[in-house]
Amino acid sequence: MALRMSPRSKSIVSFFLLPLALAGLFSCKGEVHHIEYAYAYGTNWEIHLYEGTKADAEAISDYIRTSSQVLDLDARHCQNGIYALNHQEEIEASPFLIEAIQLGQRIESQSHGAYSISIGALTKAWLENLEQGKILEPTSVASYLEQAQATTVTVQGSKAKKEGSGEIDLGSVGKGLCLDHVKAQLTEKGIRKYLINGGSSSLLIGENSSSDGSTKVHLADAKGRYFNAKNIAVSNSAISRQRYEVDGHVYSHIVDARTGIPELAYDALCLAGNGAGLLDGLSTAYLALGKDYANELENQGIQVAFMKGGEVVYESAGFLS
């Protein structure tokens, strides 16, 4: 999903998120504004602090990069990360990895089968085929699904153990979980004014210098629609930037674990609420589930907007303008 953010005062002039790629951010004359950048979790990050020090911003940037190695499927050097778990099957796991596993399992438990942390190999196979203009053969889909469904991960103390031949992929919760830790660091330092942009799907929005401290967030997948955000996390899943068309069918990068096929009924889902890691995983799961399940999210205090064909087809009461 693309978001475009604009100010309610001169403190923040404009954002264009690509889907959450920042185009510009400006602060009032005399206001502190520390900017740092990071490449992590496969995307470009921007850290904007309007309080604190440059060292605070640098520490956040360093943390984002370091944490991403734990969930990097190719980070062979990270002995307590996801690569080691997938290949060694039992490891002394990083606390961050354990937290991500448990969060992924929590989302699995409420997603009606649409979400699975064990379908990494299936997702990879789909993307490899779609990039060549091909679809994955039904027999292959069935085989990968069988492997995933027979794969489990258990955590005991500081150890994580994988049983089964499926590949564990926690990318859907990684950026959000990282933002949860960043928020804790900001809170500990008493920093209230910030915006952390986690690339294509994740935002952590504090306060700005407008009269009520909020920032206007525009939905690029639904032109003209927006919401005001303050002290909140925003998560977005969309096919607009990661879509493939093969034989008249549109496929995405998100595989519905019930069917094993990355073909979705909606184009985008925006969630706003507390707990960035939870929101990230839920936005993936519920984009596959669809708007008929929106009340399950709202019952958790989450604001919801489903989009299709450039229009909002479902929104929580009072969420969007």
Give tens-digit pLDDT for 179-225: 999 999 999 999 999 999 998 689 999 998 777 888 899 998 999 99
SS3 128: helix
Indicate the pairing of strand 159-163 with strand 194-198. unpaired
The band of 32, judged by pLDDT with boundaries at 50, 70 and 90, is: confident
Ranges 81-90, 236-245, 311-320: which has the least confidence: 236-245
The band of 248, judged by pLDDT with boundaries at 50, 70 and 90, is: confident
Is the model's pLDDT at 94 over the cut of 80? yes
pTM reported for the whole predicted model: 0.89
Residues with Cβ within 8 Å of 79's Cβ and at least 6 positions away in sequence, in order, are 91
How many Å apart are CA 3 and CA 241, to the nearest integer? 12
CATH code of the domain made up of 75-170: 1.10.3980.10
Is the model's pLDDT at 5 over the cut of 90? no
**Amino acid 210: pLDDT:** 75
- Strand-pairing partners, residue 3, are 17, 219
Give me the amino acid identity at 25: L
**Residue spans per domain, the chain:** 3-70+172-315, 75-170
The band of 226, judged by pLDDT with boundaries at 50, 70 and 90, is: very high
Indicate the pairing of strand 226-229 with strand 232-238. unpaired
Convert 97-125 to b/e letters by CB count within 10 Å (16 or more is b).
bbbbbebbbebbebbeebbbbbbbbbbeb
CA of residue 255 relative to chain centroid, distance? 15
- For residues 79 and 160, the answer to whether their CB atoms sit within 8 Å is no
SS3 107: helix
**Amino acid 309: pLDDT:** 92
SS3 55: helix
Ranges 162-171, 238-247, 274-283, 306-315: which has the least confidence: 238-247
Is the model's pLDDT at 88 over the cut of 50? yes
How many Å apart are CA 151 and CA 96, to the nearest integer? 21
**Amino acid 30: pLDDT:** 55
* 252-to-31, 74, 239 alpha-carbon distances in Å: 42, 22, 5
- Strand-pairing partners, residue 49, are 34, 194
Q: Within 10 Å of residue 50's Cβ, how many Cβ atoms?
A: 22
pLDDT more than 90, % of the chain: 80
CA of residue 73 relative to chain centroid, distance? 16
More confident of the two residues 233 and 248: 233
Q: Within 10 Å of residue 152's Cβ, how many Cβ atoms?
A: 13
Q: What count of Cα atoms within 13 Å lies in the side-chain half-sphere of residue 222?
A: 24
Which CATH architecture describes the domain 3-70+172-315? Roll (3.10)
How many Å apart are CA 34 and CA 227, to the nearest integer? 25
Is the model's pLDDT at 27 over the cut of 70? no
How many Å apart are CA 222 and CA 187, to the nearest integer? 33
- For residues 159 and 93, the answer to whether their CB atoms sit within 8 Å is yes
* 281-to-84, 191, 222 alpha-carbon distances in Å: 22, 26, 22
